[in-house]
Structure 1
Amino acid sequence: MSDYLDVLWATWPAAKETRVGVWTIRAGRGGGKRVSAATATAPATATDLAQAEQAMRALDQEPLFMIRAQDATLDALLQDNGYKIIDPVTVYAAPLSELTTQRPPAIAAFTLWEPLEIMKEIWAGEGIGPSRLAVMARVTGPKASILGRIQNRAAGAAFTAIHENTAMVHAMVVENAYRRQGTAINMMREAAFWAQDQGATELAVVVTDDNADARALYASLNMQPVGHYHYRKKQC
C-alpha cells in the first residue's frame, strides 16, 4: 500500500509538505483531502496530536488526518478525541496489459497537455476548479489530461500522471447525460495506452467506497483492490 500512496502524492502533490514532530503536514490550498491530510511518520501521542492540530490551523486548514493500514493506534487516538471517519477509500490497480487489450474507438478519447477549456468546464461542473487544476500543474513527471467524447461532443475529462512505473488517474468526470455509455471505459483505456507509451507498467486509481458505479467500472476493467485508507476529521 505504501508504494501506491507514494504514487498518489507524487501524481497529486500538495503545495508544500513540512515535517512537524512525528507528522507530515500538507498545505493543500484548496486541492482536496489528498493534499491536505496529515500523516504520521511515527507513533503519535495526545501531545503530538495537539502539535498537528496547531500546525494545520496555522495553514488555515481544519485538522484532517489520513489513516493507513499501519495507523491503527493513531486511528484509536483520533476516535477518542472526537474525530470521525470520513470518505473510506479503496485503491484499485491493474497491469496495463489488462487495459490495453483494445483501443478506444476513433476520436472517443484523447490525451493532451494542457487541458482544453471545455475540459475545465466539465471539471468545474463537478467542483474541480482552479485549486485542483493547480495541483495538476504542480506535477513534475509525465502527465496528461484525458478528453472523452461521445455523440460528436466532449463528454468527460480526467487527469493522469506517472510515478516510477505506475500511472494514476485522478479527477475522472463524465457528464451526467453521457454516463453508462462507455465514455469512462474509453478514457481509462486511453490512459493505459498513454502510460504504456511512457514506459509505465500499471494503472491505478483511488475511489471512495460509497461510489458504487466507479468501483463497478474499475472492476469491469479487471482492476483489483490493492489498498485502503480513510480520513478522520472532527464533525461540526
Structure 2
Amino acid sequence: MALPTVDAFERAGLEAWPGIDIKWDGSWVRRAAGGYTKRSNSVQCLDPEDGEDADLRVISASTWMVMRGIKPVFRITPLAAPELVETLDEAGWQEIDHSHLFAMELEAQERDPETKLFPVLDPAFLAAQQQLQGYDETTVTKLRNLLAACTVPATGVVVYRDGTAVASGLMAVAQGIVVTGNVVTDATRRRQGLAAAMMRSGLNWARSEGATVAALNVQAGNAAAQALYASLGYEHQYDYSYRIPGAR
C-alpha cells in the first residue's frame, strides 16, 4: 500500500486539527483558533505553483491574523510556493519548530484494558489533558473551543492506572487518515509504556472508524517521541517548520 501524498496528509491535518476562523486565498489558507497551537493559528500554502504576489499576500495574511488577536505565523511544508519562502527570507522571518510528519499503514492494534475513550468535549478528557499538560483555565478554554470546531470523527484517549490519568492523546480521522495530537504522559511515570498503550488504544478506535493510515507531527528535537512512534511502525515522511516575524 502506497502512503498518501503530502497534499493528502496536509489536507487531512486541516480537518483533524481545525481552525475556528478560516479564509482561503487561492491555495493559501489562513486559520485562527484563539492562539491554541501554531497548527490552528497559521497560514500555509498548499500548491507550490501558487506564488503570485507573494509579498502582498503575506502582508494581507499577517494583517488578518493580527486583527484576530494572534501573531502572524506561516507553516512551511514541501507544498509551500518558492516565492512565499523567498518573501519570508527577504523580510527576515525566523524559522522555528523544525518538525517531521510520521506516518504508517494502519494495522490491527490492541486496546489497553485501562484506557478509556471520551467524546473530545467530555469534561473527563479535558480534565486529564489539563492535569497532564499543566494547563491553566484559559488554555483549557482555548482547547475546548478548538475541539468544538471539529467536524470529523474524533476521540479523547486517556490511560488510567489505579484510577489516575497517566497518559492522554487526541485522535481524529479525516479522509481515511487518523491524525494524533496532544500526546502527553505523566512526567513521573515515563518509560513505563503508557504512551504506547495510549497510542495503540486510539489506533484501535481509528480502525473501527475506517482509518487505513496513521499520521502525526513530532518536533525534530524530540528523540524520545520519535523512538516511540518508530516502535509502533511510524516512518518519517517529510519535514516542515514555522516562520515568525523577527531578525534571523
* Normalised TM-score (structure 2): 0.85
Q: Does 1:206 align with 2:211?
A: no
Q: Which residue of 1 aligns with 2:68?
A: 59
Alpha-carbon distance between aligned partners in 1 of 2:212 and 2:28, rounded to the nearest angstrom: 32
Q: Which residue of 2 aligns with 1:26?
A: 31
Counterpart pick for 2:152 among 141, 144, 149 = 141
Q: Deviations over 1:151-207 (max 9, x none)?
A: 552101111111021111111111101111000000110011101111211221111
Listed as ranges, the gaps of 5+ residues in structure 2 are 1-5
CA RMSD between the two structures: 2.1
Moved more, 88-97 or 184-193: 88-97
Q: Which residue of 1 aligns with 2:78?
A: 69
3-state SS, counterpart of residue 86 of structure 1 = strand
Q: After TM superposition, give the deviation of residue 105 of structure 1 in Å.
A: 4.2
Moved more, 71-80 or 184-193: 71-80
Q: Which residue of 1 aligns with 2:128?
A: 119
Q: Deviations over 1:93-120 (max 9, x none)?
A: 11221x62xx24421x221212515414
Equivalent residues in 2 for 1:30-179, closer than 5 Å: 30-40=35-45, 42-43=50-51, 44-71=53-80, 72-97=82-107, 100=109, 103-107=110-114, 109-113=115-119, 114-116=122-124, 118-125=127-134, 129-179=140-190
Residue identity opposite 2:36 in structure 1: G
Listed as ranges, the gaps of 5+ residues in structure 1 are none
Residue identity opposite 2:55 in structure 1: A
Q: Where does structure 1 differ by over 4 angstroms across 4 or more consecutive aligned residues?
A: none
CA change 1:70–1:197 in 2 (3 A) is closer
Q: After TM superposition, give the deviation of residue 131 of structure 1 in Å.
A: 0.8
* Normalised TM-score (structure 1): 0.90
CA contact (8 A) 1:136 1:159 kept: no
CA contact (8 A) 1:119 1:147 kept: yes
CA change 1:121–1:61 in 2 (3 A) is closer
Alpha-carbon distance between aligned partners in 2 of 1:53 and 1:6, rounded to the nearest angstrom: 21
CA change 1:218–1:54 in 2 (3 A) is same
3-state SS, counterpart of residue 34 of structure 1 = coil
Alpha-carbon distance between aligned partners in 1 of 2:58 and 2:233, rounded to the nearest angstrom: 40
Seq. identity, %: 24
Residue identity opposite 1:119 in structure 2: A
Residue identity opposite 1:183 in structure 2: L
